[in-house]
Amino acid sequence: MSEDVYAKPEFTRKVRFQASDEDKKVDGEQDISNVIIYDNYLPGGGSMSTSQENLTEEQQTTTPVSKSFGKTALKVAVVLLALLLLLSLAAVIILATLWILDGNKRDERETFSSQLKSFSDNLTAKTGLWDELKESYSELRGTIYNLSQKMSQLEKDEDILTAMTDNLTSEVVKMTDELQAKEARQCPASWTKFGRSCYFIPTSEKSWHESNETCQRNQAHLVIVSSRLEQLFLISLGERIWIGLTDVGTKQPVWKWVDGSPLTTKYWALNQPDITAEKCVEIMIPNTLESWNDFFCNRPKRFVCEKTIV
C-beta atoms surrounding 59 within 10 Å? 15
| One domain, residues 66 and 179 | yes
| Domain end point (choices 127, 162, 185) | 185
pLDDT band per the 50, 70, 90 thresholds, residue 310? low
Residues 6+ apart with CB under 8 A from 255: 245, 246, 247, 262, 263, 273, 281
Question: Across all residues in the chain, what is the average pLDDT?
Answer: 77
Cβ atoms of 213 and 296 within 8 Å: the answer is no
| Domain end point (choices 24, 45, 60) | 60
Q: What is the pLDDT of residue 299?
A: 94
User: What count of Cα atoms within 13 Å lies in the side-chain half-sphere of residue 297?
Assistant: 15
| One domain, residues 304 and 210 | yes
Q: What is the pLDDT of residue 232?
A: 92
Average pLDDT estimate for 5-9: 49
Cβ atoms of 263 and 255 within 8 Å: the answer is yes
Partnered with residue 256 across adjacent β-strands are 246, 262
| One domain, residues 46 and 132 | no
- pLDDT tens digits for range 20-41: 554 444 444 444 444 444 444 4
| One domain, residues 226 and 177 | no
In terms of C-beta density within 10 A (0-12 exposed, 13-18 middle, 19 or more buried), how is residue 205 classed? middle
| One domain, residues 70 and 141 | yes
| One domain, residues 116 and 201 | no
Strands 35-38 and 14-17: antiparallel
| One domain, residues 85 and 156 | yes
Domain residues for the domain of 153 are 61-185
pLDDT band per the 50, 70, 90 thresholds, residue 284? confident
- For the chain, give me the number of helices (H) and strands (E)? 7, 11
| One domain, residues 98 and 159 | yes
> At residue 192, what are phi and psi to the nearest 5 degrees?
-110, 130
| One domain, residues 235 and 285 | yes
Lowest mean pLDDT segment, chosen from 102-106, 120-124, 265-269:
102-106
> At residue 299, what are phi and psi to the nearest 5 degrees?
-80, 135
| One domain, residues 30 and 99 | no
| Domain end point (choices 185, 214, 231) | 185
| One domain, residues 246 and 146 | no
Task: Provide the CATH number for the domain around residue 263.
Answer: 3.10.100.10
User: What is the domain count for the chain?
Assistant: 3
Lowest mean pLDDT segment, chosen from 38-47, 65-74, 259-268:
38-47
Q: Under DSSP, is residue 245 helix (H, G, I), strand (E, B) or coil?
A: strand
In terms of C-beta density within 10 A (0-12 exposed, 13-18 middle, 19 or more buried), how is residue 118 classed? exposed
| One domain, residues 19 and 79 | no
Of 285, 269, 272, 281, nearest in space to 235 by CA: 285
> At residue 278, what are phi and psi to the nearest 5 degrees?
-85, 110
- pLDDT tens digits for range 203-252: 899 999 999 999 999 999 999 999 999 999 999 988 899 999 998 876 67
**Residue 38 and residue 184: Cα distance in Å, rounded?**
174
- pLDDT tens digits for range 80-112: 888 888 887 887 788 777 777 666 667 777 787
Cβ atoms of 265 and 255 within 8 Å: the answer is no
